[in-house]
Amino acid sequence: MLTLPYIRQNKDEVLERLKVKHFMHLTLIDEVIELDEKRRQIQKQCDDIKAQQNQISKQIGQLFAQGKKEEAEQKKAESATLKDIAEALIKELDTIEHAIHDKLVLIPNVPHSSVPQGKTAEDNTVVKEGGKKPDLFPNPLPHWELAKKLDIIDFELGVKIAGAGFPVYKGKGAKLERSLINFFLDNAIQAGYQEIIPPIVINKESGFGTGQLPDKDGQMYHVPLDELYLIPTAEVPITNLYRDVILEEKDLPIKNCGYTPCFRREAGSYGAHVRGLNRLHQFDKIEIVQVTKPEDSYRALQEMCDYVESLLIKLELPYRILLLCGGDMSFASAKTYDFEVYSAAQDKWLEVSSVSNFETFQSNRLKLRYKSADKKNELAHTLNGSALGMARVVAALIENNQTEDAHIEIPTCLRTYTGFDRI
RNA sequence: GGAAAGAUGUCCGAGUGGUUUAAGGAGCACGCCUGGAAAGCGUGUGUACGCCUAAAGCGUACCGCGGGUUCGAAUCCCGCUCUUUCCGCCA
């Protein structure tokens, strides 16, 4: 959520930048500013009347103490009239505040000035490509076929237990998954991130804090009996650790990482591109989260990108880094880099990480502030990224590292974790 | 699921309708004192919004949350949430 003072003071810039995001309801900006002016005016009236009331009440107390009953009664009547006026104003104020809030939450974050124009994923800029596409033999198997042949991932069994998109990992498949989790966590800890094991259900407040609610209500699994949601990413519980918190400047930057399963309803996606591990309702992911001072957040974004890239290099996966264009960015993000790995048998780039700077968009919702050197409370910046999303990494590893006799070579960096070189 | 108790500032803690403008203590910051420190003394010490270009200053709201009674509520009434303890159930 953008802050009102920011919108008020940078109206033209906000409008200009929201166009980069292809945001349609630009009139909301003027509506919000207008409502805010009205709000301030009414609040002034309201506060003045309340001040009078408070004074009169105090006088009444004194008059009673002095035994001046009649005068006190007179004052009572006076105060009662003021009360009626104040009540009407409070009601009006309440209505306006709700209206402002309802409009404010519909306005997306403004993209950073370095975000390129563009409408769809086609318009994203490839900023870097790395690794080497494998030289595979003819007709390599897509991962779902090879995984079935080796009996390491069972999609049908998952359907029986839960439904489509809930795969069952077996034997060496399960061990590979767990090895990746440990590999990613150990690397993150090495890079200075403190590990967190958060709850994997969240309440409404948390969903609102990071921006999933009300925007993506239908994309999360909901437990109505207890009003809880299954997390779509560890970003939600980990970032919400700092909801309603005023940090000390010396605490920053905060660097957290965490492994959780992630749950996504993926309502509306179907077809060939969701086969196998490409798109799941449940998958494992290690998330990295940073909370920084405003002036440090873009350096942190770069640091996080470098870190994610280092993982892909260690895993020897061919990758590319995309700078998302305005139209393809998420609602809450100011700048996002996507990381894709090349999955050879499918001949497809699969997104395995998305690293974003939210600037103050989340912290404004979270009321996540820090006390700056001059003792002022300022909104911190929040960032997060996947490091990494498991399922698609597994898909690429299976496809790229397959041998002609239908086995899978384990990358060197994982072998101490798996305890085996091939599947 | 049943019963009871509780929720006050950074923390502890007092407060059952009007000098509470939330006592008192601790912590923290600054100053005095000191050769330096401790002790002692003094001062200050939350959040949000508004008025003001800003600062200073002032106003309003906030004692778990939401309503209500009253001229006036931390205090009385109603609803809710959470915590703790006991019982039940249980990996």
Q: pLDDT (tens digit, 9 = 90+) per residue, A26-84?
A: 999 999 999 999 999 999 998 889 888 888 888 888 787 777 777 878 888 888 888 88
- A193's CB contacts (< 8 A; 6+ apart) are A255, A256, A257, A288
Does the pLDDT of residue A23 top 80, yes or no?
yes
A369: CB within 7 A of chain B nucleic strand: yes
Write down the residue that tokens 């563009």 correspond to: A118
A51: CB within 7 A of chain B nucleic strand: yes
Residue A41 CA and nucleotide B52 C1' are separated, in Å, by 14
A243: CB within 7 A of chain B nucleic strand: no
- pLDDT, one tens digit per residue, over A98-119 is 899 889 989 999 999 999 999 9
Residue A291 CA and nucleotide B51 C1' are separated, in Å, by 34
The CATH architecture annotation of domain A121-418 reads 2-Layer Sandwich (3.30)
Listed by start position, the domains of chain A span 4-104, 121-418
Does the pLDDT of residue A250 top 90, yes or no?
no
Residue A271's pLDDT band (boundaries 50, 70, 90)? low
A421 secondary structure, DSSP code? S
| CATH level 3 topology of A4-104 | Helix Hairpins (1.10.287)
A225: CB within 7 A of chain B nucleic strand: no
Which nucleotide has the shortest C1'-to-CA distance from A44? B50
A83: CB within 7 A of chain B nucleic strand: yes
Six-digit token pair at A344? 């050879």
In whole angstroms, what is the distance from residue A326 CA to residue A335 CA?
Answer: 9
Write down the residue that tokens 């919000």 correspond to: A32
Question: What's the predicted TM-score (pTM) here?
Answer: 0.90
Q: Which nucleotides in chain B lie closer than 7 A to a protein CB?
A: 18-19, 47-51, 59-61, 71-72
In whole angstroms, what is the distance from residue A298 CA to residue A295 CA?
Answer: 8
Q: What mean pLDDT is reported for chain A?
A: 90
A223: CB within 7 A of chain B nucleic strand: no
The pLDDT score that the predictor gives to residue A403 is 93
Q: ipTM strictly over 0.90?
A: no
